[in-house]
Amino acid sequence: MESLKTKTKERYQQYVMGTYAPQLLLVKGEGIWVWDDAGKKYLDFGSGISVCNLGHCHPAVTEAIRRQSGILVHTSNLFMNEVQPLLAEKLAGCGFDGVTFFANSGAEANEGLIKFARKWGNPQGKNEIITMEDSFHGRTLATLAATGRAKYRKDFQPDMPGFKQVKFNDITALREAITDQTAAVLLEPVQGEGGILPASGDYLKQVRELCTEKNILLMFDEVQCGTGRTGTFFAFQNYSVIPDALSMAKALGNGFPLGAIMVGRPFAGVLGVGTHASTFGGTPLACAAGCAVVDTLQGGVLANCREQGSYLLEKLTTLKDKFPCIKAVRGKGLMIGVVLDRPAADLLPILNELGMIALSAGETVLRLLPPLTVTREECDLALKIIEQGLARLPA
């Protein structure tokens, strides 16, 4: 009889557009573990690309989805639902006083940020947005134009106008790029896809000062680095810098699609009635998942993220002495990059074989994004597997 994997592969090939090339068939997840169709279990240090930050099928999120799906799933935003403002209130309570618009993905959230910046800037004759080299903001046309990696834009010209990129962590480059048309600066406090590169504290402070001085909006893309990933609820809380607006998605629903933009209180009226919308944005079901995520993150999860993150960073750094292929180890909280002297993709299948899932970022960075609930024992297991994997790489 044909195996589940063979049948599934055939269906993919015949019916699913080939924009991805997945190899493993995963059938079950619990906490940090996922299982494939053959019953093999993997330590998941990818969390579905920083989505399942509370681990797979977290009981509080599963229960919230189960409960809400029996009460009210969708109303459209033409009607109030009690869960959406509850989640917005909880988000504001996490340390960013402002209002929220709900979307379904990171790219959709960033589209909202871009519209917010243009709506605010246009009456003042400004509509250009400065973003960073090596940044990633999504795959829609506007977010591609914002993204600082040309390879994603190739084949999709013309680029949407109104964006320019400058070197990240370089205040002079930013200062020189600002013109009378600049409406906003958009950046990831910790670059994710580009290679797990944190902004320096001094740099972000200077960016904030520059934006305030020039009357330019400072907007943070916290789609990957937010929702607890760096050890604070918002990534900007690692820095003494407050943005004017930010985007979130990925882990906000722990796997249930949910994105959001938040704008600071002084900008609450910029996007008024009829200026922006989303049929699925902020359904009671998505927001119930979001509420469960935010409530659960209030516990010891953030402290655990900081503690295990420092531990992993320290232990991985010591591996540098043993493996010259490691060029650097960097990150914040449980957003960790191990910079190799070769494509990180060389290591990923070896880790899979050894029972672990990890990711790449940029070309040469091994990206580790375990659930924020990861234990010391699981960190030690991951370190052991990574060490075994590195040993299998050709010299």
Ligand X SMILES: Cc1ncc(COP(=O)(O)O)c(C=O)c1O
Binding site for ligand X (CB under 6 A): 49, 105-107, 110, 136-138, 188, 192-193, 221, 223-224, 249
Q: How far is the CB of 80 from ligand X (least distance, A)?
A: 26
Q: How far is the CB of 136 from ligand X (least distance, A)?
A: 5
Residue 366 phi, psi (nearest 5): -80, 120
Task: Return the number of the residue (249 or 340) whose C-beta is nearest ligand X.
Answer: 249
Task: Return the number of the residue (140 or 200) whose C-beta is nearest ligand X.
Answer: 140
- CA-to-CA dists, residue 387 to 7, 168, 283, angstroms: 35, 31, 44
CB 140 within 8 A of CB 194: no
Alpha carbon distance, N-terminus to C-terminus of the chain: 42
**Sequential DSSP letters for 257-312:** --EEEEEEGGGTTSS-TTS---SSTT-HHHHHHHHHHHHHHTTTHHHHHHHHHHHH
Task: Return the number of the residue (29 or 46) whose C-beta is nearest ligand X.
Answer: 46
CA–CA separation, 174 vs 181, rounded Å?
14
Task: Return the number of the residue (261 or 379) whose C-beta is nearest ligand X.
Answer: 261
CB-nearest residue to ligand X:
106
Q: How far is the CB of 361 from ligand X (least distance, A)?
A: 9
Q: How far is the CB of 367 from ligand X (least distance, A)?
A: 11
CA–CA separation, 187 vs 89, rounded Å?
25
Q: How far is the CB of 323 from ligand X (least distance, A)?
A: 27
CA–CA separation, 231 vs 226, rounded Å?
9
Task: Return the number of the residue (193 or 378) whose C-beta is nearest ligand X.
Answer: 193
- Residue with structure tokens 């958009």? 186
Task: Return the number of the residue (305 or 326) whose C-beta is nearest ligand X.
Answer: 305
Q: How far is the CB of 143 from ligand X (least distance, A)?
A: 7
